Structure 1
Amino acid sequence: MNCIVLYSSRTGNTKKVAEAVCQGLPAGTACVDVKEVPADLSAYDYIFVGFWVDKGNANAEAQEILKNLPACKAGIFATLGADPKSEHAAQALANGAALVPEGVTVVDSFICQGAVDPKLIEMMYKMFPAGSAHGKSPERDALHAEAAKHPDAADLAAAKAFAAGVLSKGQEA
């Protein structure tokens, strides 16, 4: 089986997860930034696409990849600054999966927390008043501090297991 991992990473979080995904796949599986995607992906049986969550969806570069996947089995993974068990996280994965064209089977998906770009935090704190959902508050600062610890070793081990699981489930389908 021929696999490839494609990822879009703003701060390095999704790249780390993509590299862990590769560890769960056959030796020699390519791990490629979306800026360097091969022109023809039709030779791949399994295509893994990773993105950072932007406004509840895949970031723009990853959206273009997802929308243009050839017929294959896919694994979709993502990183976000929020709680990976939240409704926001689940919806972001669902939104990413909804972008794939007919003929692509999304076998499974995975999401984990990742550190938020400090420039983004600063921008949000300037844009939104203190105490609002995205404004500066002790609770928001605590969320950012927790996110800064991720992806951690447990997240990366889960990403590797996710990849192996996609292959296993994909062969059953």
Structure 2
Amino acid sequence: MKSLIVYSSATGNTRKLAEVFANEIEDAELLSIQDVKVSMLKNFDMLYLGYWVDKGDLDAASAKLAEHVQNAKIVLFGTLGAADNSEYYTMVKRRIETHFQDAKLYGHFLCQGKVQESVIARYRQMIKEHPDDVHMQEQLKNYEKGRTHPDETDLQKARDFVRSIT
């Protein structure tokens, strides 16, 4: 089975996962989403689409590609700034999967990734303006802790995931 692994990555997190997938999947081509042409999709039996979460949903580039992958065999994988929380992760996965209702979904992997430094700086500034906001303080702690993600544990979970579906 010929597979295409496509990833969208703002900070390198999803690219790391895509590279893990590429090392585990035989006969796979790895491309950044900027290098994918819709006409290429018909040349592959399986699409692995890596995205980053933007405001609880697909990033814009992945959402645009999603419009062209209906009726495809697909595996989704992504990263987000939040720490692993099954309730929130489940909600995000469900929201993202609505973009692929007409596709055959073989699996969906999600893990924490670092956020852009500009986001951390923005939260630091907001906390200065609202020092009693506990939610903002917790978000900032989460983002700062997430600077090391995806870590080796996350990458091993990604390996285990892809092995379970190939």
Same fold (TM > 0.5): yes
Take 2:132 and 2:5, find their aligned partners in 1: how far apart are those partners? 39
Take 1:131 and 1:5, find their aligned partners in 2: how far apart are those partners? 44
Deviation at 1:51, TM superposition (A): 0.9
User: Taking every aligned residue pair, what percent have the same amino acid on both sides?
Assistant: 28
Take 2:142 and 2:100, find their aligned partners in 1: how far apart are those partners? 31
Deviation at 1:131, TM superposition (A): 4.1
* Alpha-carbon distance change, 30 to 53 in structure 1, aligned in 2, over 3 angstroms: same
Tell me if structure 2 keeps the 8 A contact 1:8–1:62. Answer: yes
Q: Of Structure 1 and Structure 2, which has the larger fraction of its residues in helix?
A: 2
Q: Deviations over 1:62-105 (max 9, x none)?
A: 11112211532111011011122342222222111110152x11
Take 1:8 and 1:88, find their aligned partners in 2: how far apart are those partners? 21
Q: Which residue of 2 aligns with 1:147?
A: 146
Deviation at 1:48, TM superposition (A): 0.6
Tell me if structure 2 keeps the 8 A contact 1:21–1:162. Answer: no
* Alpha-carbon distance change, 122 to 22 in structure 1, aligned in 2, over 3 angstroms: same
Query: Where in structure 1 are there 5+ consecutive unaligned residues?
Result: 168-173
AA of the residue aligned to 1:66: A
How many residues align structurally? 163
Corresponding residue SS for 1:143:
helix
* Alpha-carbon distance change, 30 to 125 in structure 1, aligned in 2, over 3 angstroms: same
Tell me if structure 2 keeps the 8 A contact 1:75–1:163. Answer: no
Tell me if structure 1 keeps the 8 A contact 2:6–2:18. Answer: yes
Corresponding residue SS for 1:145:
helix
Take 1:16 and 1:72, find their aligned partners in 2: how far apart are those partners? 24
AA of the residue aligned to 1:38: K
* Alpha-carbon distance change, 69 to 130 in structure 1, aligned in 2, over 3 angstroms: farther
Aligned pairs for 1:102-117 (under 5 A) are 102=102, 104-117=103-116
Take 2:7 and 2:147, find their aligned partners in 1: how far apart are those partners? 20
Take 1:96 and 1:52, find their aligned partners in 2: how far apart are those partners? 11
* Alpha-carbon distance change, 3 to 154 in structure 1, aligned in 2, over 3 angstroms: same
Deviation at 1:15, TM superposition (A): 0.5
